[in-house]
Amino acid sequence: MDFLFKLFSARDEENEMNYIVKGYPLTTSPVIPDILKYQVKYQRMNGDRDTPILALALAHEGSDLVEPESLEVIRRRMQLWFNEYPELAKYFEKELPRNLLAVSFTHENFQMGKESCHDFKLANPYKEAENSFYTYRKLSESVQCVYYNKNGVEYPAGACFYPTPYGKPKLLESNNALVLFATSSQIEYPPRDRKRSSYFVHFKCYGRYCATTGRNIIVTCDTSDGIPRHWDYNHEIKKFERNLCYECCEDYFNYTWEEPKKDSPATPAASPEPASVTSVPAPDAINDSDTSEVSQADSTECLIEGFEKIEMNTEDAESDIGAGLIG
C-alpha cells in the first residue's frame, strides 16, 4: 500500500508540474477546488478607506485539513505583500490556522466582494464598464489569478491561494514563486504610463501580457546591457532566470504612452480565448520555433542578437527584485 501511495503521489506531482510549465487554460468562471466544500465561514479584512483587500475561507474551527508547510508559503508572502497595512501584516506574523482553506488578495483599486473568495470587484470610486468582464487562470493547484478585462486589456485584479490538502503534491518552491509573480506582474488599473509607475521608477520593471508565453509576466530592465528580459522561474531546476523575448523587447523599445480614449467599447482581452473549465486542455508550451510567429522589428533583433539568458539563484532573486516588488 505504501508503494502504491508513493507511486500515485509521484504521478500527481508530475501531472501538476506539467500543467504549471505548459499553462492552465483561461476560463470565464473560477475553478473551485474540492477543499472548499468544507468552508463554513468567509471573512473579509480591510485596508485603507474601509476597502476589503484580503479575504479568508475557513472550515470549522479545529479542523486540520491542509499541509502546514503550504500555509507557511502564503504566510510569508502575505506578510511582505501587506507590509504597508500593519493590521493585515500582523495577522500573518504567526502561524496560520489549520482550518484555513483559501486566502484571496487584491491589487490596487480592486476589492473583495461579499460572495466568496473568488468575488473580485473594482474599488470605489471606480465603476465597471458595461462590456467589461472577469477571467480566471490557475497557475497551479494552489494559485489562481483573477483578471478584469476592459478595452482589450487584461488587468490583474488579484489572486487566490489554496493551501495543499494532506496527501497532495506540495510543490513549495514552485508555489512560492507563483505567488510572487501573481503579486508582482500587475498592470495598473486605471491605466497609466508604465514608466511613471512605482515599480518602473524604483525597480526598473513592469508587468505586461506576453502573447509569446501566453501569460502575464514581469519585464525587468535593470540589466547592465540595457536589454529587457522576462523575470521568470524555472520550475524544473528550481531557479529564477532572466530570459530574452523578442516580443517584449520590441514592445519595450517601441513603447509610447497614449491616454486611453473615453467611453471606448470593451473588447475581449488580448489573450487566449476564455474556455470552459471542463472542455479545454492546457495549451502546449511555447518553444523556440514558435517565436517566429511574433512580429519582430529588425532593429530589435540586432539589439538582442548574441545575448543569452541570465540565470539567478533564489537568494539573489528574492533580495534583488522580489522583496522590493512585493512592498
- Assigned C-alpha cell, 56: 479568508
pLDDT at res. 9: 52
Burial 267-286 (b: 16+ CB within 10 A, else e): eebebbebbeeeeeeeeeeb
**Position 171, amino acid:** L
Band of the pLDDT at 166, cuts 50, 70, 90? very high
Burial class (CB in 10 A: 0-12, 13-18, 19+), 176: buried
> Which tens digit of pLDDT belongs to each residue from 197-245?
888 998 899 999 999 988 889 999 988 888 999 999 999 999 999 999 9
The CB density around residue 134, as the number of other CB atoms within 10 Å, is 20
How far are the Cα atoms of 8, 18, 36, 215, 275 from residue 279, in angstroms, in the given order? 24, 18, 22, 20, 7
Beta-carbon contacts of residue 11 (< 8 Å; ≥ 6 apart): none
- pLDDT greater than 60 at residue 302: no
pLDDT at res. 2: 53
> Which tens digit of pLDDT belongs to each residue from 87-119?
999 999 999 999 999 999 999 999 999 999 999
- pLDDT greater than 70 at residue 304: no
- pLDDT greater than 60 at residue 79: yes
- pLDDT greater than 90 at residue 27: yes
Lowest mean pLDDT among 88-102, 159-173, 294-308: 294-308
- pLDDT greater than 90 at residue 8: no
Cα(134)–Cα(186) distance, rounded to whole angstroms? 15
**Position 262, amino acid:** K
Partner residues linked to 241 by β-bridges? 232, 311
- pLDDT greater than 80 at residue 296: no
